[in-house]
Amino acid sequence: MRNFIFLIVLFFVFQWLLKKLRRANERAQQGDAQAGGATAGGASGARRTNHGNGAASHDAPQLADPLIRCAQCGVHTPRSESIVVAGQRFCCADHARHYAARPTGRDAR
Ligand SMILES: [Zn+2]
C-alpha cells in the first residue's frame, strides 16, 4: 500500500519538475531560438548555453519561420507575423508605433 502512495507523490513531483523545466525553456529561448519539442523527453539537457549567438546559417536546417525579437517588448514572434519598421522588428503594429513615439528610442533599456 505504501508503494501506491509513493507512486502518487512521484507523479506530482514529476509534474512539478515539468512545469519548472518549461519555464526554464522559455527563458532559454531568449538566447537561442530553438523551436523544438523537447517537452516529452528526457529531463536533462533542456538548457544548452554553449550554442553561442551567431548560428545563422550553420549545418542546422534553417526554419522556414525563424523567431525574431520585438524591439519594444522583447517577445519572440515568427518572422511572418512580425513587422519591420525603420530597421527594427516588432511583434505588432502597436509596438512599432510605441517605439516610434519614443523620443530617443533606447533610454529605458
Ligand atoms: Zn512587442
Instruction: Encode the chain (109 residues) as per-residue pLDDT tens digits.
Output: 778 888 888 888 889 988 988 988 888 877 665 555 555 555 555 555 555 555 454 565 666 789 999 999 999 999 999 999 888 999 999 999 998 887 664 555 5
Identify whether 71 is part of a domain: yes
Contacts of residue 10, Cβ cutoff 8 Å, sequence gap at least 6: none
Nearest Cα residue to 67 out of 94, 34, 24: 34
Identify whether 39 is part of a domain: no
Identify whether 89 is part of a domain: yes
Task: Name residues with Cβ closer than 5 Å to ligand 1, which is an ion.
Answer: 70, 72-73, 91, 95
How many helices (H) and strands (E) the chain has is answered by: 2, 4
Identify whether 13 is part of a domain: yes
pLDDT at 50: 55
* β 83-85/88-90 pair status: antiparallel
Identify whether 28 is part of a domain: yes
Measured between its terminal Cα atoms, the distance across the chain in Å is 57
What range does the domain containing 69 cover? Answer: 64-109
Number of domains in the chain: 2
Q: How far is the CA of 107 from the centre of ligand 1 (A)?
A: 17
Identify whether 40 is part of a domain: no
pLDDT at 35: 52
